[in-house]
Amino acid sequence: MEKASHLSVIVDLSPTQWHLSAQADNQYPLSIQTFLSQLLAFLNTHIASQHENTLAVFGALPGKSVMLYSSTDVVADDAIAPDANSYPPFKAVDSTVVQNMMYEFDAFQKSDHEPPCDLVGALTKALCYINRITHPSTTANSAAEDPSILPDPRILILSVSPDLSPSYIPIMNSIFSAQKLKVTIDICKIYGPDTVFLQQAAHLTNGSYIYLERRDALLQYLIMSFLSPPAIRKVLAVPKQDKVDFRAACFCHKNIVDIGFVCSVCLSIFCQPVPVCSTCRTKFPIKTLQRLNASRPSLNPVNSRNSLPLANLNNASPRPTPTRNLNGVS
Amino acid sequence: MPSVQSLQPGDISTSQNSPHVLLPFLQSQPQNTLTRLYQRPSSCLSIFRLLGPLERQLIMNLLWLESAIPTNTMAAWVVPEGKKLYNDALTVMTGLHIIQNPTVKLALNSTFRSSLRQAITGGGNTGSFGVPADKDDKRQPNAIELLDAYALERWETILHYMVSSGQGQLPTKPSSGVLYLLQRSELMKANHGATLQITSSGFQFLLHSPHDQLWDLLLQYLHMAEERQMDLVEVLSFLFMLSTMELGREYSTDSLSQTQKVLLEDLRDYGLIWQKKSSSKRFSPTRLATTLTSLSPSLPTSNSRTGSGTNAVGVAASSAQQGFIVLETNYRVYAYTDNPLQTAVLNLFITMKYRFPNLVVGMLTRESVRKALANGISAEQIISYLSTHAHPQMRKNNPLLPVTVQDQIRLWELERNRLKSAEGYLYKDFASQADYMYVLEYAKQLDVVLWENGAKRCFFGSLEGHANVRGFIERRTGGG
Amino acid sequence: MPPRQRDSIFIEVDSDSDVSILGDGDDDYTRSKGKGKGKATDKRKKDKGKAKAKEQAYTWEASYTRSWDTVQEDEAGSLQGAVEDWMARGRRRRLLAPAAAIRRTIIRHLILLLDLSASMMDRDMRPTRFDLSLQYAREFITEWFDQNPLGQIGVVGMRAGIGERIGEMSGNPQDVLKAIADRHRLEPVGEPSLQNAIEMARSSMSHLPTHSSREILVIFGSLTTCDPGNIHDTLDICVKNKIRISVVALAAEMKICRELCDKTGGQFGVAMNEGHFKDILFESVPPPAQRAVARTTGAGTANPAADLMMMGFPTRLPDTSPPSLCVCHSEMKSEGFLCPRCMAKVCDVPTDCDICGLMIVSSPHLARSYHHLFPVKPYQAVISLEDTPDPETSCHACARIFPTTATTTATTEGMSPLGRYQCVDCHHDFCTDCDVFVHDVIHCCPGCGK
C-alpha cells in the first residue's frame, strides 16, 4: 500500500463574502451551510481513503486565523458520544469543525468595518503545522508520529475573498517555504474574482487552481480535483489553471501592477517612478526618473485590473476565454 | 537520510501493484454474497480502504453521481501512460461487482453506493460500526497498554509455537482452535500422528510482516468458515466492523448474531479481541483488529516492551517500525533483541554465535542459508526480512544491505538450482541429417525444443509439444 | 598561512542562506557538527604549515571529523546542555543581526573561473581535485540560482595557458549546468593562465549595465600562472571596472591571488579539506552587501550604482492554448509568456521583450529575495509566566501544547526555560521549532502576518 497523505484545508470564512455568495441573484447561490455540509463530506472522504491520512483544518477569519481541527491533537474522549451508525473518526472531525466554527462566528463582533480575512496567518500556521508533523523534533514527545512514514503534505485553500495586496510579500514568502517543504498548494476559488497571488501559489507549488464555475457541484469538484494525492495525479489528470497571472503588488500603494518600476539594489516594486527607494533609501539618478516618466505608459492606469487588455493581440486567433465573468460577480 | 527517502517510494510502488490478499477471495464470491455484504456501511468502508489508491479515487469520482457516466468521459481524465493502470483498476472493481458493465457506462453498484455514502455522511440505523457498551461505572475500560500486551502475547504464542516446533522444544501451546487452523492452512503438519511440525510454507509465513501474517490466517479462517457452513457475509462484516472500531473502547455483544458470537471466541484466541471472560457481555478490539485495513504496524513489538515496561503505547507503536538488525559486509548479523521469537526466526537462516542480554550475534553462512532454503524459504524472503527489520543506523546506508551479502545469498540459492528438470521426450535415431533438421525446424517453430545436439542427431522436446511433433513425424514417414 | 579570522566566518556561514529543509529533522546535529568542524580545523590549522603531515597522515582521516570533541556532556552525562547551547547561539546571532533593511546587490553577474590545468588531477582531495571541483561547482550553481534568481553565471576554464569559454553568461541554471556536465570535454591539461582567463571574463562582462554586480569566482588548484603580460595591469583594470574577484585556492596561498581579492574586495580562502572547500565556495552564494566604496563615491548625491528599472510582469499561457508564433524564435508553440505592454509572446522569462524592449520578469523571481529586505523581528524568550495572567496553552503556529513547567534549569541567555518565544508585535507565543522555522524559512510571523 502507499504512503499516507496529509491534507491541510484552509477555509476562508469571510462573513461578507459568504453573505454575498448566498444571494439569490447569483447564478448558483451557495450558502455557508450547504458549503459546510459538502466540505465535511469531503473531509470524511479524505480520512476514509486511508487509515493513516491526517487532516488539519484552518479557518481564515476577519483579522484572525484559527486552527479548527487537527487529527494529531485529539480532543478529550468523552466529548463525542459514540454512535453505532457512524465511523468514530468521521464523527470527531464533523463535530469538532462545526463546534469550533460556530464558536468563532459567535465570538465575531459585528461592526461596520470588517477587517480583511487573515489568509496569511492561516497559511503560515498550516505550514508550521506541516513542518511540525513532517519533521518531528526530538525535543517534543511526539509519540504519534512515526519517522519512517512521513505523510505527503498538501494544502487546499478554499477562497472566497479577493486578493489582498498588502499581503503580497508574506504570501510569496509562504509560497517559497511551501516549495521548500515540498508542499503542494491547491486552490479552489469558490466565489469572487480570480486572485493573482493564489494563482501563482498553485503554479509555483505544482498544485491546481480551479475556479468553481458550477457552485452547486462543489463536492464533485472537490473530490475529482483535490482528493487525489500527487501520485494519483500522474494517472488521473487533474485540471490545472488555464493561465497564470504573474503580476505583483507594488510596495508604495499596494496596487497590483503589470508594469512596475524596480529598484536595482533591493528589487522593491513601485507603481510609479520614485526619486528615492522607500525600502533601502537608495537615491535614483534624476535622468532615469525623467526618462521613465516620459516613457511611462499613460494609457495604462496602473491600479485597475479591469482595464487590462486580456486578448492576446499577437495571436491570430484570440484565446477562447471561459464564459465566466473575470471581474467576478460582485 | 536522502537515501532512505529515495528508497521508499520505489518500495511503495512495487508493493502497490500487488492487491490485498483478501481481494481475490472476495472476487471469487458470488455476486449476491457481495451485495449482501455491501449492505453494511462499515464493510463498504473497509473494502474501499483495501483497494488501491487509483480504485479509491475512481470510486469517489463516481460516488456522488446520480446517473451513470459514459466510459469515455471518465477515460478522458486518464493520461496516456496511465491507461494500463486505469484498465486494471476497472477490472478489479468489476470483479468485486462494485462497478457494473463498464463497457458502455460507468456507475457504482447501487447498494455499494448508498452504503458508502451513508458511511461517509453518517446516519442510518444499520449499527454497522459496532454498538458501544454502556458505561460501566464500576470499572474503567481497559487501558490501551493492556490491550496491546494482550494482543502481543497471544500472537507471539502462535508464532513461537510454530517456530520452535521445528527444534523439538515445546513452548506453551495455543488453543486447539488455533492449532486446527494452523494445520488446516498447512502452515504446520502433524508428524507421525502426534506432534505438529512446521512446513515450508510455515517458514515462509514467519518471515512475513505481522499484517500479512494476520490476513493469511484470517483468509484461511474464511475458507474454513465456508466449510463449516458459517455465513460468510456475517463473518466478513464482523471482521470489517472490527477494523472500524476504536481502540480502547468497549462494545456490546448484544447486537451480534449467533455466528458472530462463535466468531468472537475464535478471534479471542488469535488476540484480535479482548474479553474479560467468555460470558462477558462486552468486548474490546485490540490493535490487531483495529489496524486490519491500515498499513500501520499492527503489533507493538516486544522490543519496546522489554526496554522499559512503563513505555507509553505511542512509543511502542512507533518503535515497532524500527528495526533491530545490523548486517555487516562480513556476513555478521547483530540483532538488538531479547525477544525469543525474533531470535528463533533469525535462527532459521543464521548461525548463532553469541547471546547477550539484549544482543544476538550470528553469521550468515552457506550452511545456515542452505538450511533455510531447504526449508522452503527463498533468498528474496531472507533479504526482504533483513531489510524490513534493519536497524535505524543501517538505514543510513545506500543500498540498505551490503551488496556483497545480498548477491551471495542469491548465489547460494542459485547453487541449488543448477539442475532443472523438465518432463519431455527425446527424439533420436533420425534416418538422415535432412530428416533431423526438418523435424527440428518444425519443433523450433512450435517452441518446444529444450535441448538439441546436431552431432548425435537428437533433440529433447517438452511434454506439451509431443503430440504435434509425433504427428508431424508420423505424417512425414507415412507420406514419404 | 591562511587568514586568522576563519573562526568568525564559520559562525556566519549560514547566517543568510536558508536552512535546508531536508536536514531540518536533525538540524541540531548537523549544525553543531558544522561548528565543531570549524573548531577542529582551527586547531589543526595552527600547525598546518609545518606539521600537516604529522597531524593527518592520510587525507581519508580528515573525513572522520572529531565531532564528539566539541560536544560537552554535563554532569549527568546528557547532551541536552550542548544542544541548547547551539540553539541559544543561533538565537543570539539573530538578535544581533541589524533590524534595518540591508542593501544588497541582487542583480548579480558571475563568471566562474575553473582551473583546468594539470595540477587539478592531484588526488589530495577525493576523488581528484578536478572531479570534486566539478561536483561542488554544480551544487554551487544550483544554490546560487536559488538565492539569486535574477543573476547570471558564465563559465570560463583555464587550460593549456589560455582562457577558454565554456559556458556563455546565462540566467538559466540548466544551461550553466549543461555547460559543465561533460567531464571529458573539460579534461585538465597544461598550465593555467590567470591573466588570460580574467581578461576573457572581464571582456564578457564589460557590456553589463552599471547597476548589476560583476563578480569573478576562481577555483584555483595550481601554484603557478603563466601569463603573457603583467597581471597587475589586469588587476588595475578590474578594480576600475568594479569587478569583484574571489579565489578559492586548493593548494596554498599565492601572493597574486590574495592581492586580486584584497584589491577588488573579494574573498580569499584556501581549502583545507573537502568540507572546508565547499564551505568557502558557498560563502559566495549570498548576495554581497554593497561595498562602502560604492556608497561613498556618490555621497550626498544619487548613487551611480543604483537605478530604477521598468519591468513588466507577464501572463503565462498554458500549453493547452492555441499555438502561435513566439517573437524570440519564431516557432509555433502553445505555452509562453505575454509581454504586458505589447502582448508579444516570448518563450521564457526573465528576458527583454524583443518587440518593445521592456524587461520581462516573473514576479516570483523578484519576490524570492524579499525576505532579505523584511526580516521577521526576533522573538523574545519568555522567561517566566508570572506576570502574564492568561498564558496561551499551545503554540500559536503549530498548536503544539506548551510544557507547563520549566524543563531545563540551566538557563542560557536568549533561551526560554518554558520553550516559549513571543513576537514583540502581536504578543503571541511560539514553540522553539516554530521560532526557528518562522525566522529561517517562512520569514513571516503567523500571528501578525509580518
Q: What is the pLDDT of residues B22-53, one digit of tens each?
A: 888 888 888 888 888 898 888 898 899 888 88
For an interface test with A, which of C108, C214, C310, C351 has the most A Cβ atoms less than 10 Å from its Cβ?
C310
Closest-CA residue of B relative to A40 is B121
* Confidence grade of residue A305 (pLDDT, cut at 50, 70, 90): very low
Q: What is the pLDDT of residue A40?
A: 92
Report whether A65 contacts A16 (CB < 8 A).
no
Residue B94 and residue B102 in contact, taking contact as beta carbons nearer than 8 Å: yes
Task: List alpha helices for C26-128, DSSP H.
Answer: 27-46, 48-55, 67-70, 80-96
Q: Which of the four pLDDT bands, split at 50, 70 and 90, describes residue C209?
A: low
Q: Is the pLDDT of residue C16 over 70?
A: no
Task: Tell me the Ramachandran region of residue B122: left when phi exceeds 0, alpha when psi lies from -120 to 50, beta otherwise.
Answer: left
pLDDT band of residue C75 (cuts 50, 70, 90) is low
Counting other chains too, the contacts that B426-434 makes at CB distance below 8 Å and 24 or more residues apart are B426/B458, B426/B459, B426/B460, B427/B458, B427/B459, B427/B460, B427/B461, B427/B469, B427/B473, B428/B456, B428/B457, B428/B458, B429/B457, B429/B458, B430/B457, B430/B458, B433/B457
Query: Do the chains contact at B78 and A235, CB–CB below 8 Å?
Result: yes
Percent of chain B with pLDDT over 90: 5
Model confidence at B461: pLDDT above 90: no
Res A216 pLDDT > 60: yes
Report which residue type is found at C447: G
Structure confidence at residue B361 (pLDDT): 93
Q: Which residue of B has its CA nearest to C23?
A: B1
Q: Is any Cβ of chain A less than 8 angstroms from the Cβ of B3?
A: no
Would you state the pLDDT for residue B263? 85
CA distances from C79 to B145, B395, C29, C82, C86 (A): 30, 23, 11, 5, 11
Average pLDDT of the residues in B114-132: 82
- CB pair distance less than 8 Å for B295 and A51: yes
Nine cell digits for residue C137 = 561547482
pLDDT in tens, C427-440: 888 888 888 888 87
Query: Distance, in angstroms, between A137 CA and closest chain B CA?
Result: 14
Q: What is the rounded average pLDDT of the residues A74-94?
A: 70
The answer to whether the Cβ–Cβ distance between C399 and A173 falls below 8 Å is: no
d(CA B160, CA B202): 12
Q: pTM to 2 decimals? A: 0.74
pLDDT digits (tens, 9 = 90+) for C121-148: 888 887 889 999 999 999 999 888 877 7
Residues from chain C that touch A265, judged by Cβ atoms under 8 A, are 103-106, 211, 290, 303, 305-306
What confidence score (pLDDT) does residue C446 get?
Answer: 86
What pLDDT was estimated at residue B200? Answer: 77
> Rounded to an integer, what is the distance from CA A319 to the centroid of its chain?
26
pLDDT at residue C197, rounded to an integer: 93
Site of grid cell 573561473:
C113
Which pLDDT does position A143 carry in this prediction?
36
Is the CB of B2 inside 8 Å of chain C's CB atoms?
yes
Q: Are C106 and A266 in contact (CB under 8 A)?
A: yes
User: Considering only alpha carbons, which residue of chain C is nearest residue B2?
Assistant: C22
Name B443's Cβ contacts closer than 8 Å, sequence gap at least 6.
Answer: B427, B449, B459, B461, B465, B469
**Between B281 and A319, where is the model more confident?**
B281
Alpha helices in C182-318 (DSSP H): 194-205, 231-240, 255-264, 274-282, 292-297
Residue B265's nearest CA partner among B342, B201, B176 is B176
The answer to whether the beta carbons of residues A135 and C403 sit under 8 Å apart is: no
CA C222 to chain centre: 25
- The model's pLDDT over C350-391, given as tens digits with 9 standing for 90+, comes to 777 778 878 888 788 788 777 777 778 888 888 777 777 777
The predicted-structure confidence for C32-66, as pLDDT tens digits, reads as follows 444 444 444 444 444 444 444 444 555 555 555 55
Report the b/e string of A301-330 with b at 16+ CB within 10 A.
ebeebeeeeeebebbeeebeeeeeeeeeee
Mean pLDDT of all residues in A147-173: 81
Judged by CB atoms closer than 8 Å, whether chains meet at A297 and C18 is answered as: no
- Residues B347-375 have a mean pLDDT of 89
Residue ranges of C 108-147 with Cβ closer than 8 A to chain A: none
The confidence score (pLDDT) of residue C23 equals 39
**In 3D, which of C306, C288, C341 has the Cα closest to residue C151?**
C288
Please report the pLDDT score of residue A228 as a whole number: 85
pLDDT value of position C69: 57
Predicted pLDDT at A8: 93
Number of H helices, E strands in chain B: 23, 14
Interface membership of A5 toward B (CB under 8 Å)? no
State which of A160-164, A229-233, B124-128, B408-412 shows the largest mean pLDDT.
B408-412
Which CA distances in Å does B265 have to B219, B447, C53, C61? 17, 56, 75, 63
Q: Which helix H or strand E contains C211, and what residues bound it?
A: none
Q: Residue A158: its pLDDT value, please?
A: 93
pLDDT band at B140 (very low <50, low <70, confident <90, very high): low
Provide mean pLDDT across the span B123-130: 75
Query: Bigger pLDDT: B117 or B124?
Result: B117
Any CB–CB contact under 8 A between B1 and chain C? yes
Helices (H), B334-376: 340-346, 366-374
What pLDDT digit, counting tens, does each position of A14-34 carry?
Answer: 888 888 888 888 888 888 888
Instruction: Mark which residues 397-416 of B lie under 8 Å from A by CB.
Output: none
Interface of C with B (CB under 8 A): 22, 25
pLDDT for position A150: 63
Quickly tell me which residue has 509562504 as its cell.
A174
Q: How many Å lie between the alpha carbon of A67 and the closest alpha carbon of chain C?
A: 8
Per-residue pLDDT at C272 exceeds 70? yes
Å between C335 CA and nearest CA of chain A: 10
CB A181 within 8 A of CB A126: no
Beta bridge partners of residue B442, listed in sequence order = none
Neighbouring chains to B with at least 3 Cβ pairs closer than 8 Å:
A, C
Q: What is the distance in angstroms between the Cα of A261 and the nearest Cα belonging to chain C?
A: 4
For CA atoms C400, C401, C402, C405, the dihedral sign is negative
Asked if residue B42 lies in contact with residue B244, where contact means CB atoms within 8 angstroms, the answer is yes
Q: Which chains touch A (3 or more CB pairs under 8 A)?
A: B, C
Q: Which of B131, B315, B321 is opposite residue A143, by nearest beta carbon?
A: B315
Q: In what order do the strands lie in the sheet with B449-453?
A: B424-427, B458-462, B449-453
Give the count of beta carbons closer than 10 Å to the beta carbon of residue C68.
Answer: 10
Record the cell numbers describing residue A273, joined without a space.
517612478
Query: C295-340 pLDDT, tens per residue?
Result: 433 333 334 556 788 888 888 888 778 888 888 778 888 888 888 8
Instruction: Tell me the shortest Cα–Cα distance from B120 to chain A, in angstroms.
Output: 6
Compute the distance between CA of residue C249 and CA of residue A86 in angstroms, rounded to an integer.
69
* Under 8 Å between Cβ of B450 and B424: yes
Burial class (CB in 10 A: 0-12, 13-18, 19+), B35: middle
Angle between helices C274-282 and C129-147 (to 10 degrees): 30
Whole-angstrom Cα distance, residue B109 to residue B26?
15
The size of chain C, in residues, is 450
Enumerate residues 6+ apart whose C-beta is below 8 A from A243.
Answer: C315, C316, C317, C318, C321
Instruction: Indicate yes or no: CB of A260 within 8 angstroms of CB of C447.
Output: no
Assess B246–A contact: CB distance below 8 Å, yes or no: yes
Query: pLDDT for C151-207, tens place per residue?
Result: 889 999 999 889 999 988 877 777 888 888 888 888 899 999 999 999 999 988 877
On the question of pLDDT at B191 being above 90, the answer is: no
Q: What is the pLDDT of residue C37?
A: 42
- Residue A42 near residue A219 (C-beta atoms within 8 A): yes
With beta carbons less than 8 A apart as the criterion, state whether A130 and A6 touch: yes
Contact assignment for C312 to A124 by CB distance below 8 Å: no
Q: Is the pLDDT of residue B448 over 90?
A: no
Query: C206 CB contacts (<8 Å, ≥6 apart)?
Result: C241
Whole-number pLDDT of residue C321: 80
